[in-house]
Amino acid sequence: MPQLSPLAPAAFPDLPAIEGVRFAATAAGVRYKDRTDVMLALLDPGSTVAGVFTRSATRSAAVRDCEAKLGGDASGGAAILVNSGNSNAFTGRAGDESVRRICAAVARLADLPQERVFTASTGVIGERLPDDRITACLDTLKSGLSPDGIGMAARAIMTTDTFPKGATRTVEIDGQPVRIAGIAKGSGMIAPDMATMLVYIFTDARIAQPLLQEMLRDLTDRSFNCITVDGDTSTSDTLLLAATGRSAGITARGGPFEEALGAVMLDLAHQVVRDGEGATKFIEIAVTGADSDADARRVAMSVANSPLVKTAAAGEDPNWGRIVMAVGKAGARADRDRLSIRFGDILVAKDGWVAETYTEAEGAAYMKRPELRIGVDMGLGSGAATVWTCDLTHAYITINADYRS
Amino acid sequence: MPQLSPLAPAAFPDLPAIEGVRFAATAAGVRYKDRTDVMLALLDPGSTVAGVFTRSATRSAAVRDCEAKLGGDASGGAAILVNSGNSNAFTGRAGDESVRRICAAVARLADLPQERVFTASTGVIGERLPDDRITACLDTLKSGLSPDGIGMAARAIMTTDTFPKGATRTVEIDGQPVRIAGIAKGSGMIAPDMATMLVYIFTDARIAQPLLQEMLRDLTDRSFNCITVDGDTSTSDTLLLAATGRSAGITARGGPFEEALGAVMLDLAHQVVRDGEGATKFIEIAVTGADSDADARRVAMSVANSPLVKTAAAGEDPNWGRIVMAVGKAGARADRDRLSIRFGDILVAKDGWVAETYTEAEGAAYMKRPELRIGVDMGLGSGAATVWTCDLTHAYITINADYRS
């Protein structure tokens, strides 16, 4: 077992049951021994499902299948089946057939059309998925279904994660409590083999699929699309959001439900960064004053993905010159003489040079914190973006250089 | 002193004197103790100078100054002065003034217009350049000028380099030998603080500046723009090419001179990768069958910059799934079922899955070599590109996390 991330939350949160969805998990022995590795979520009729997926050109068979099924008829319920240990990615036609067999078996089990069965696989790449081990335990999964099983589901989808990830919010709408509960796995947006990101969020809100999809897409851009561990992109990233319709109805954008959903997604996204491979620092990069939001995002991601910024953080070195370098290479408009940089509230550099008030000692003391905030003001316009990352440590090298040996 | 890279060439090559250019180096004490840190190259009247520079938006004062001076009047000779130890980058107006003072002093020394003095600085960022230490030793430099001093110059511009870098070719044109000799410093396209790339190439060919510039730009795209250590881009990258005009004239593209110049540039580029921070593997990534050369380059650079591919190489793990991942995230068109991957001559994956003939043992044995070749055929068109990188090791983390502590 890998050591628990020093940035892990104190405990897995107490996730509420969401009326209209039940969960089960079991040990199918896909690859791991002595742990659960398959989870099933069954959604009652009337549930709408929205999703966003990796844009990788080599995305897995399950991802392609899910994408094609979004927006289908919600009247008959739906199922989500996920296995860990094998990603079924780059497994050719055999991979497509595994997805079809699993979907067919789950459809029979739950009396659903195959078009309402969503699957995902995470784990090693390029090895044939032993789908018979999964279909063999479907009856066990069905008999174990429970409204309280979401925590078990969170554990069953883990691969190199050092802790299960969950988040919840409840808002009152039209006098009714509307609950949102989500789980995630991932040690970053990294790796096709053991660290693909999977996220499943459930709510009892009543909401039409197109509105749910629109909300999900926009909120993803401000949460999961704002995190990076190493800039590598999974072949399997999948985020599904299911609404069972048992509580109040949502008919418009921008209200408290959307805000709460955004908070759940950001919470889960931050947990993925906190479990980034080898991470010892949680780093927020806030860019302001750019020509546009897109430029601000380009700069923020350039800083967040820079190996030199990330190794400096690992070494607790207030090496602000590397931030200047990462700003410069981002491809956004920058003017050296208007640029300022902050560590937390400490003004480090302004007007193209180190700030007169800044001392290296102050910067070095700040860098010892486990949570860092790097502020970059471009001094040009009103474009802004905030992203999150972790440091790049010896442990990252160890995990990834020695993974299969 | 850092340990010599295991990928270093056996020895510094024997570089020929280039008629019309003399070199000197001295210890100015900019930052380092007990070593040379300033080099001067003086070019006779009639020399043409071409250059390419970092595209960073936060490029240094010297880079901006050089860019503005290219293509000036060649009748009166030229000078190149380079210091190591301090990059004079992000030093505000004071940095611009340092450049002006150095250029003015060199111009006086060599009886040149300031517009013909090219400078570069490499080393720590954000600290004021003590330009008085450089100008104080100009007389010493002048008295030490020698046609045979290029090796000393190569040593004076080193920072974290573990070996000086030189390359040469001679071609016969119109019955005359035309010599090309170049030097470089850099541990990758990385870091604004201790690993900026500087390259100086000299030839006795007679060639007009516009043609020299055109040749240089195209050859750079096939050499220095095809290498990466960590994807970080220097604020100081500078490549100058000077032609003294003492040998045969070159009036057209595509001949043996251009071929030899390209070979010198590729040789130097490979040496920079071989001295990549912490490198233990020299990796060539050759992409073929892409929709276009641009797409092939996108895929090759995505593989070359992937931390997961690079850590797998460090761990000698034939983890071809990570190559699939890097192809997928590149943003180029890819079809899983047409993709094939090779390690050297070993066919690893084809038609969307692992090759029937491939064995993990064969892949593992291949990965033990110090020089690796990863072949990716997209199976789509005739676009091709080859790039070079090194692996990502614990030593990279150590060098960059602990650099200033």
A43 to chain B, minimum CA–CA distance in Å?
A: 32
* Helices H / strands E in chain B, number of each: 12, 16
Separation CA A47–CA A75 (nearest Å):
7
Strands A48-53 and A238-243: antiparallel
pLDDT digits (tens, 9 = 90+) for B242-272: 999 999 999 999 999 999 999 999 999 999 9
**DSSP assignment of B239-304:** EEEEE--SS-B--SSSSHHHHHHHHHHHHHHHHHHHTSTT---EEEEEEEEESSHHHHHHHHHHHH
Between residues 179 and 208 of chain B, which touch chain A (CB distance below 8 Å)? 190-193
Does A400 belong to an annotated binding site? yes
Contacting residues of B for A124, CB less than 8 Å apart:
321
| Residue of chain B minimizing CA distance to A236 | B325
| pLDDT recorded at residue A73 | 82
A54 to chain B, minimum CA–CA distance in Å?
A: 9
Separation CA A290–CA A301 (nearest Å):
13
Between residues 106 and 125 of chain B, which touch chain A (CB distance below 8 Å)? 124-125
Residue A135, phi-psi category: left (phi > 0), alpha (psi -120 to 50), beta (remainder): alpha
| Residue of chain A minimizing CA distance to B323 | A192
DSSP B380: S
Does B196 belong to an annotated binding site? yes
Mean pLDDT per 10-residue segment, chain A (405 residues)? 85 96 97 95 95 84 90 87 92 92 97 96 89 97 97 94 95 96 78 62 96 94 85 76 95 96 95 90 97 96 91 93 89 92 96 91 97 97 95 86 61
Q: Please answer yes or no on whether A126 and B349 come within 8 Å at the CB atom.
A: yes
CB of A4 less than 8 A from some CB of B: no
| Residue of chain A minimizing CA distance to B123 | A321
| Residue of chain A minimizing CA distance to B231 | A306
The beta strand positions in A60-164, using DSSP E, are 78-86, 117-124
pLDDT digits (tens, 9 = 90+) for B81-116: 999 999 898 888 899 999 999 999 999 999 999 999
Question: Domains of chain B by range and CATH?
Answer: 21-274 (3.60.70.12), 282-401 (3.10.20.340)
Q: Please answer yes or no on whether B56 and A337 come within 8 Å at the CB atom.
A: no
pLDDT digits (tens, 9 = 90+) for B365-399: 999 999 999 999 999 999 999 999 999 988 888 88
Of B321, B353, B404, the CB nearest to A193: B321
| pLDDT recorded at residue A82 | 96
Q: For this complex, say whether ipTM is above 0.90.
A: no
Q: Which of A196, A238, A288, A393 is catalytic?
A: A196
Of residues A58 and B212, the one with the higher pLDDT is B212
With 80 as the cut, is the pLDDT of residue B236 above it? no
Contacting residues of B for A57, CB less than 8 Å apart:
327-336
| pLDDT recorded at residue A26 | 98
Q: What is the 3-state secondary structure of B134-174?
A: HHCCHHHHHHCCECCCHHHHHHHCCCCCCCCEEEEEEEEEC
Of B95, B235, B403, the CB nearest to A325: B235
- Asked about A196 being catalytic, the answer comes back as yes
Separation CA A206–CA B180 (nearest Å):
74
Between residues 285 and 324 of chain A, which touch chain B (CB distance below 8 Å)? 305-308, 311-312, 314-317, 319-322, 324
